Structure 1
Amino acid sequence: MTGSPLRGRTVVITGAARGLGAALAHELARREARLALLGHEAPGLDALATSLPTAAMAIEVDVTDPCGLDDAASAVRGRLGRPSAVVANAGIAEGGPFATSDPASWRRVVDVNLTGSAQTARAFLPDLTVTAGYFLQIASLASLGATPMMSAYCASKAGVEAFAHALQAEVAHEGVAVGVAYPAWADTDMIREAEGFAALHELRAHMPPGVRNIRPADVVAARLARAVERRSTAVYIPAWLRLLQPLRWALPPVVLRLTRHDLPRWDAGRPLRATGRLGAGGRADRAAAAPDDGRPG
């Protein structure tokens, strides 16, 4: 894609070691962008950087560590040049009843997804201001409507949407564009592991057709890459999800009616239980955060 406006430009992706982050890296490399791959899993990041056909660098960093992100921004600037786009993709999830959730683990989901996105923006905004760049916040279907059993994830994704909208209004006059992506279900190891928990599977399966479908990660990544090329204000995957925006007020009572009677039986008669941080990425975050949350990795 030699005609892409991203050709020769530097793009930063957080949470790049796997899932949507890795798929997006491949899509942007096809557009001949230079890539800075940030995340926890150094071996995976290194392997991804080596596999790409364009210049790429891997940086192991925790997005909740502001000093680490500042160092990462300096390293990107020195090796690849100031970024023209930053994709705040890093995120983790866990499911289970809020009342019995572990407070430290619940807080960690919010810290990574919301605070980590804000710290990412803070570290790279000076560069984006110079390049009149683009910041893409990966939100979620959960930003549009919350579901039970995912309270930390839904709260954090609603928060990143609000953060991105506030930032968008603050930096527009400086030539920096901010977009929000609303992907539904993508085929990542996090979603595949969530499917092993009956209540989470049933919550997805009872969504309307088109919303409940799990899409290949590369299909979702292709839409995200086009959003980066076009500096889109919003990208919905699937596209018709934009129709939910004016109907958001109606979603909570619909979810309430659905789950009031059905939720107890969705776990096959067993007590609804916590999933722990989902997927290999969640476990990598657990291991990295263990010294902070006081729990073994």
Structure 2
Amino acid sequence: MATSKTRQRKLARERYDRQMARRAAATRRKRRIQAGIGSAVALLLIVFGTVWLLGGFDSEPTSEAADTCSWTKQDTTTNTNLKDVGTPPTKDLTTTGTRTMTITTNQGAPITVDLDLASAPCAGASFAYLAGNGFFDNTKCHEITAEGALRCGDPSGTGQGGPTYAFYNENVPSVPTPSPSATPDPAQPAVYPKGTVALIGNPPGSNGSQFLIFFKDYTPTDAPAYPIVGHVNTGIDVVEKIGKIKTVENDAGQKVKPEQDVTIQSLTVGEAPAASPTAATPDATPSATASSTPAATPSQS
């Protein structure tokens, strides 16, 4: 028969075994939980890494319209003939269709020009901006050139004037097929047909406000230098009449100055056409029929 001490030891042993069993069970549960957490973390890391590699966490770039035109600041310390009226907008400019420019002179009926916004959008934007600031009003066309064009757009009348910005060439005609002789082939279309309106830069390629209106066909013997911006729609007879005015020497000794003053009383540019799906409607380009406040300081490209 078991003694009291033997029973106590047996009970203590059973109690100890039960405690060890509970601890083992708890340890197994803890390990299962830790294993589950580890697997979940590993899965999350795999998903996170995959999304990251595929660019899922890249921030969306800010949608901003690209510049259509660029305006280069000119040095007014070396050229005091430049007139500061700020700079045109660079974005949201119409790049399709045409826009009507109306030139009213002291020589007869107004001359209307279709500005080609598809081929020369920056020239069109510049004309509209300058016209909106009255840049051309009451200025003189200071030359009748040997090429057969009326040269206008310089408020200083020196051939050195313009705004305090310049812009690159657009729509320069291709080089004509060489003629066997030094004179252009009469069967070949003129590079600058009568009625062509083109920019003339100083130096070439640095365009501002000066422009040519050809009153007769002209084909250069070397590479064309004048970017075409439009064509006369009405009033070519007025331009031809001006082209017949006698010329006298200017301050530089060149016999190109009209003996009679040819004054642009006003130059306006009508509203741009409605934008196509591929062109934005200009909301910053001032209308030539309304006044526009010049920018305080010109922007630089």
Bin of the TM-score, shorter chain as denominator length: under 0.3
Structure 1 or 2: larger strand share? 2
Structure ID, larger Rg: 2
| Larger RCO, structures 1/2 (Cα 8 Å, 6+ apart) | 2
Using the size of structure 2 for normalisation, the TM-score is 0.23
Structure number with the higher helix fraction is 1
